[in-house]
Structures are given as structure tokens and as C-alpha cells.
A and B are shown apart, each in its own frame.
Chain A
Amino acid sequence: MGRVSRREFLIAGAAAGGGLLLGFRTGERAPALAAAATPPAFAPNAFIRIGTDGRVTMIIGQVEMGQGMYTSMPMLLAEELEVGLDQVVVEHAPPDDKLYGNPLFGFQATGGSTSVKGLYGPLRRAGATARTMLIAAAAKRWVVDPASCRAERGAVIHTASGRRSTYGALAAAAAEMPVPEHVALKRPEDFKLIGTPAKRLDTPAKVNGTAQFGIDVRLPGMKIATVAASPVLGGKVAGLDEGKAKAIKGVRQIVRLDDAVAVVADHMWAAKQGLAALAVRWDDGPNAHLSTGDVVKGLEAAAQTPGVVARKDGDAAAAMAGAAKKIEAVYEAPFLAHATMEPPNCTVHVQKGSCEVWTGSQVLSRVRATAAEVTGLPLEKVVVHNHLLGGGFGRRLEVDYVTQAVRIATHVEGPVKVVWTREEDVQHDVYRPYYYDRIAAGVDARGRPIAWTHRLVGISILARWLPPAFTNGIDIDAVDGAVQLVYAIPAIRVEYVRHEEPVLKTGFWRGVGVTHNIFVVESFIDELAAAAKQDPVAYRRALLSKSPRARAVLELAVKAAGWGQPLPAGRGRGVALLYSGWDTYVAQVADVEVSPSGDVRVHRIVCAVDCGTVVNPDIVKAQIEGGVIFGISGALYGEVTLKNGRVEQSNFNNYRVLRMNEAPAIEVHLVRNNEAPGGIGEPGTAVTAPALANAVFAATGKRIRKLPLKPDQLRSS
């Protein structure tokens, strides 16, 4: 490693075997989370490696879980470096918070729709710096002014003479060049890659079976284990029938932990059968008799107490008192499981003095830390190999399954792959929390809101997951979407009541805070429109004078959806609008049909999206499409319930998700501009439930305030 540029915090040096190695640390932070992050060191954050053979390798600290990270991140680098995506090889980065910390979290995490938002500037600057150094090296060699040279597809060209040298030939010399303090970034009109629907780099391996997910790891001498943890949180193993399990061919070992049992075998089938044969008896512990109703009672009681004020405009209480009419409602959103298609799994090899881990994780440095903690080894003795993720959605922001696998592996000779069954996954997830919201508006004589109070009650994920981000009693994620209310209402008060219900582990779930808040806010605005006997679009439009971008997406979506055109009986259109800390605006129009038996069929979804600068419009569209489907699954079917402390759902038969024959036509319209990029992984999910609930209201006149939109709430015959 060589010299460091103080201004840009870029670091350059010679790569092993010659060539140029360039890293940087990301210095940009979102104000909201900046206080939570540790101060950055002079350490590089991601790397470009240019070999003397001209091979350009990009080492990506963000993980690929379907959201196109291994394409959009390289696009940012390649744009400024002046190489084609076809000239780039992507490598998974190892865990290292200092090197690969997410600027918006302060450590290495992929989630919260933050990657493009946080890395758009830093990755481009890194690419531009490498390009500048390569040009400088060529100019020096040719004794010409660097300004007379240009870069193109991995080569530097002296425009006047036509002399040309490849990056590979220049890489070693470039490594000797000073790191420039300022680099010129390309103007948006000169972009060759950014803004184009470039092909994804990860797709070819995913259509022929060669892509390696964590679950596909195979090592010499590796055993396979499957596990059962206590069905009730806090329960312990009370007894088991070891003999029967060991009699099964292929079963090698039973590992008994205090709260879980694993069967280690030659293959998954023997492990599964062994686990069944163990007939584990459990001591259920203190949560043995709890049900969902107990959780709701706790939330309900907490909702009677005032919360911490998260937004205050004017005097909401006074405005409410002076209103012509007050409208109030309670909304509820259930526990939800992630059910990533790739079930949780982790392969571990514990040896004397070392530990190796193979898994797919959104938080690699935490994988490493938990393995070190369980084994008692120093961090540097833990090696983590990251893999493609078969879905993240927030599930793989947790390392519970890694911790457990390492605990098991400490009892096993040789490497062991611990694979959860789907039943284990659905019943031991880190669930989207249950939320309980009290919301009210005071309206004037024409039905327009003049006062707005929103008290939301739920557990704080950030207080556990990123404690420094939980400040002054506010979980900025839990209130996200509620505090950014775009409607022009003179008096607004948003309160947050933290209420912990330790009956299930809870965590992030594709847009968690926003997903629940937008459901509440956009359903309630619809209620106000209905109370005022106004069209839901016209009612919103009149409140959007101060938010032109929100208004623009609304207009685009309603026009494309044919808002106002007649629909057959039993059908209805609903609209919802989203703006939140992701800095993305989305409007959605849903067209649904409700059958006499109360089943909801979604016919068509139209989304208009303004996420500022678009890196890859096809990836943005795919993320919105996928987010919408995820949102429909949640809104129509998603519900995890508890009885006697146990989760009642177990697999895709009773934790239903949307299927091909139920999937609507989805249209995504993008607004293109040069605003700062916003997040796109989660908005599609968050905007969907309220659009559906509002469409159901339009179709049936029934206002559903508690998700999911179950047939028994909607039956008419």
C-alpha cells in the first residue's frame, strides 16, 4: 500500500505481481445515522485491481442478494474508469468494517436500500481517480500533457498522435503516480453506462446451476447437520431419545445445546430423519402460554401512554380541538416471516486455533465477530467466505443462524454444514414486529385536514441492532415514512412509543418501519377522503402543493392506470403514495377484485417511481416489480401467529406467498432526473399494502385496518 490522498481518502499502490491497486474509504454519511457511526480511519473501502494483464477486478463490499449489487456497483466504478462492464470481474469482499463499511451504517452492511444512495459518489470518485492516474502514467511515458490524452475501454489514447496503451501496460507505472487530490467526474450527459439497462453480471451463472449460494458449499470431509431449536423462545431441551436417532444409517453425531439439538450426518436426509427420531422434549419456559392476543394487549395498553415526539409542526392538540370534526382509527400490522427461498444455513470448520465460516450474509463483519466470540478466538483467526444470498429481505442482517452453527461446529470434528428446514425457518425467524398505531385527524368544514396526530407503538429494532442509532427514545427506522408525511397539514404530531414484547425475535423485514407506516398513513388519508366524499386522488393532490416530486409521481401513476375509468362490479382501484428516508417517491395504483367469498385478486399494479439518478433502469424496475410481489404476499396472506408460545405456521402451505397464477400485471414508470439517487429495494413493498387496502375499500366499501386483508373480513355472501 502506498500513498494516501488526504482530501479524497484514496489510497493507491502496487498490486501483488505488479499492476495498480486502488482503494478508498467512503467519507459520505447520511446525517441521520452519522452520529451512530464510528469515525472513519484512513482505510480503503473498496478496491479496483488492475493487473498487468489488463484484467480489471472490482472487489465489492456490498453483497448480492438479487438486488443487482454486483452490477450497479461495478457500473459506477466502470463509468468513471472508462472500462466496459464486459471487461470487469467481480469478487466478493472479505469482512472488514474499516475497509468496506457502509457509509450509512458505519460498518459493513447491505440493507435498508442504502447501497447506491451511499456509494454513488465514492465509487465514481474511485473510478475517476484510477483513470486519472492511468492517464498521468501514459502522459509521462509519452511526454505529453495529460489533458491531451483520453481513456476509452481500458486504454489511454493520445488524441493527436493516436498513440495507445492499455491499462494493463500502464498499471505498474500508474501505481507510482501521485494520488490526485481532485478528480473531474464525468457530466451526466457523457455517461456511457450509468442510466443504461446494462446486463447483470451475476445472471449467467444463475441460469445454469453453477452459481454458488451458501447452501451449495461442499468441502472434503464435510458433514451435514439439521437443527431444532426450542419451539418457544426461552425454552430448553428437557430430554431426547439418542439411541433411535443413532440407529439411522448415516447419522454420525447428536449435538445437544441448551436451547437446540442438531443431528450431524452424512447427508440431509439422514440428519432430518435423525432429528425426527430424537423426539426431543422441551421445557418451554416462561413464554409457554403466550399467544398473539397477549402481545396485542400489551401494545394496546402501551398505546394509551404518550410517546416520544418524532415530528411536531404547530400545535396539533389545539388545532384538533378547533376542528369541525375529528376522525380516529387504530391500525395493526402482524408479525411476518421472511421465508427467503434459500433457508438459513451456515458451514463452519472449527479447528484448534482457527475457524472458517462459509455463508451468505448481509453483515459479514458480524459473522466474523460472532464466530470469534463463540470460539474464543481472536478476530484474525476467523476467516469468512461470503456467498451469493438466496434472498435477504433483512433476514440475513441477523447472525443468529451463524452463531448457532458455530456453537454446533465446536462439537464436531471437521467441517459441518448446518441447514435449517423450512419449518425451522418459519418458526425461528427474526420476524417483522407487530405494530399498533393510533392515528387521528381534525378536519375543517370542507373535510381538509388541519391537525394530524399519529402515535405508533412497537419494539425498537435499532435499539438492539445498532444501539447508537437509537437516540432520545426515537427509533428512526420505526418512524420512517411517518415523520416525512408529504401532505401540507398545518399541525402535525408524530409520537413513538417503544414497547418490547420478547415472545419472538424481531428484526428488519424489507422496509420494516416504512412498510408499516405507509400502510397506516395512506390508508388513513383515504379514510379522510372518503369522509369528505372526495376522490382519493383529488384529495391527495390538493395537499401536495409543497411536494412537486410527490405530486408528479401521483399524476404519472393515475394517468397510466386510467384512474376514473369504469371497472366491472366487484372491482376497485386504490392509490397510495410513498416518501421516506429512502429519498424515493413512489405512487401506486392497484386494481383489485374481491369475490363474494372475500378473496382478493390483484389484476394490475401501476407504479410511478422517482428515485433521482437511476444507475440501471432495468434493475430499478425489477426491484420495484419484486417489491410489489413481496408486498402483495404480505398484504394478502402474511401473518405469523402464536399459540402457547409457538409459531403456528410452518411452511408455504400455511405461510402462503404469492404464486404465478395469482400475480398481477405490473407496470413501472420511471421519472428520470439528476437528483441524488434514492433507495429502490424496499419502496415497492412499502407502497403496496395501502394501495391494495384502498382498492379493497373502493371495491367493497370495507375499510380494513388490520393486515392481512383476509377473506373473513371481506366476505359478502
Chain B
Amino acid sequence: MVTLKINGKAHTADVPPDMPLLWVLRDVVGLTGTKFGCGAALCGACTVHLDGQPVRSCVMPVAAVAGKNITTIEAIGNTPSGRKIQQAWLDLEVVQCGYCQSGQIMSAAALLASHPHPTDADIDAGMAGNICRCGTYSRIRAAIKHAAGG
């Protein structure tokens, strides 16, 4: 039994300690906004925040996150940087199929929180772990800058 603090709410789950957080969120807690893309920390679709830091939930054992503040896409709009990023995504029409975008937004929100005025190199470093198969990269870059400016 683990107790998790997800988006400010406590959840208990009867799951093995080595179970990745991704599957606890999606299949046990029922928060499906966090996506499965590779299961191997290669694509970033499963990105969530752990005490404000972006992590790949597909390789994060649930035992390692007990007691920490977990934030998912469903609640990122409650943070200042998350709200700005979501709005910038809408303003610049970043999204295509949308499947990668939960992860993109989580990575971008963390980037903006730590780098209020990110350079291109900061954006490369902060976002290179998030694959978008629809190819929305140039709009993501522009939207992060837009969010930083507004």
C-alpha cells in the first residue's frame, strides 16, 4: 500500500513498490492525461512533476515518489508557469494530434518555472527529451517564448 499526493489530493493504492508511477496514474488512479509513449524514458509523453521537477513517470517506481508532491497535466493549470504555457499553446495553435502534448506542456512548464526567459539552448535542453511525431517543434519553441514574454 502506498500513499501518493497527486495534484494536492492523497490517494492510496495497493500496488507493487516497483510499479512505475505512469501505470498507477493511468490504470489505478484513473488520471489518463499522462500518456504512455515508450515506457523507457525515451519520449517524454509520461512527464509529470515531482516537487516541481519534471520526471519520466514510466520509469519512476511508485515507492520512490511516496510523500512527494506529484503534479500531472490535469492540474498544471493551477501553477503560474503551467497556466502561461497552456495559454501560449492555445494562442499559437501548437497542437496537432495532441498525444504528446501533455508531456510537452509538463516539460515546458518546468522549463519556464526554472528559466523565466529561456534561450534557444535552454529550450533545446529542456525539450529534447519530448518527442512529437506530428512535428510541432517550431510552434512549441515559439509558444515557450511567447509564454515567457507574456
**A and B bind:** yes
Instruction: Using C-beta atoms within 8 Å of the partner chain, give the interface range for chain A.
Output: 35 or more
Q: Tell me the smallest distance from the CB of B145 to a CB of chain A, in Å.
A: 13
A557 to B34, CA, bound (A): 40
Q: Does B127 contact A (CB under 8 A)?
A: yes
Scoring B residues 87 to 118 as 1 if CB is less than 8 Å from chain A, else 0, what string do you get? 00110010111111110010000000000000
User: A218 to B30, Cβ gap below 8 A?
Assistant: yes
A342 to B97, CA, bound (A): 9
A21 to B18, CA, bound (A): 54
Scoring A residues 334 to 353 as 1 if CB is less than 8 Å from chain B, else 0, what string do you get? 00000111110000000000
B98 to chain A: which residues have CB within 8 Å?
66, 202-203, 205-206, 211, 213, 388, 390
A421 to B39, CA, bound (A): 8
Q: Tell me the smallest distance from the CB of B133 to a CB of chain A, in Å.
A: 5
Q: Does B68 contact A (CB under 8 A)?
A: no
A301 to B24, CA, bound (A): 53
Interface segment, one of A265-273, A527-535, A577-585: A265-273
**In-complex Cβ contact of B97 among A66, A212, A215, A249 (8 A):** A66
Which chain B residues numbered 118 to 150 have a C-beta less than 8 Å away from chain A?
123-125, 127-141
A342 to B86, CA, bound (A): 21
Centre residue among A208, A210, A268 by max chain B CB count within 10 A: A208
A390 to B100, CA, bound (A): 8
Scoring A residues 490 to 527 as 1 if CB is less than 8 Å from chain B, else 0, what string do you get? 00000000000000000000000000000000000000
Q: Does B80 contact A (CB under 8 A)?
A: no
User: B133 to A391, Cβ gap below 8 A?
Assistant: yes
User: A203 to B93, Cβ gap below 8 A?
Assistant: yes
Interface segment, one of A99-107, A237-245, A619-627: A619-627
Given contacts A200-B95, A203-B89, A630-B135, contact A422 B101 (CB under 8 A): no
User: B130 to A660, Cβ gap below 8 A?
Assistant: yes
Given contacts A207-B101, A268-B27, contact A626 B135 (CB under 8 A): yes
**In-complex Cβ contact of B134 among A205, A207, A212, A626 (8 A):** A626
User: B131 to A267, Cβ gap below 8 A?
Assistant: no
A272 to B138, CA, bound (A): 35
Q: Tell me the smallest distance from the CB of B8 to a CB of chain A, in Å.
A: 15
Given contacts A209-B102, A390-B97, contact A267 B23 (CB under 8 A): yes
Which chain B residues numbered 59 to 98 have a C-beta less than 8 Å away from chain A?
72-74, 76-77, 86, 89-90, 93, 95-98
Interface segment, one of A51-59, A132-140, A289-297, A661-669: A661-669
A618 to chain B: which residues have CB within 8 Å?
93
Which chain A residues numbered 189 to 234 have a C-beta less than 8 Å away from chain B?
197, 199-200, 202-213, 215-216, 218, 224
Centre residue among B27, B33, B73, B137 by max chain A CB count within 10 A: B27
User: B96 to A660, Cβ gap below 8 A?
Assistant: no
User: A422 to B105, Cβ gap below 8 A?
Assistant: no
The residue in chain B whose Cβ has the minimal distance to the Cβ of A67 is B96
Other A-B pairs beyond A208-B76, A340-B99, A660-B130, 12, CB < 8 Å: A64-B97, A197-B93, A199-B93, A207-B89, A218-B30, A269-B27, A341-B100, A388-B98, A391-B99, A391-B134, A392-B97, A422-B39
**What 7 A-B pairs have minimum CB-CB distances, sorted nearest first?**
A209-B33, A629-B135, A390-B99, A66-B97, A206-B98, A66-B96, A626-B135
A–B pairs, 18, beta carbons within 8 Å: A68-B96, A206-B95, A207-B105, A208-B73, A208-B76, A210-B33, A210-B74, A218-B32, A340-B99, A341-B97, A390-B98, A622-B93, A622-B136, A651-B39, A651-B40, A653-B40, A660-B130, A665-B138
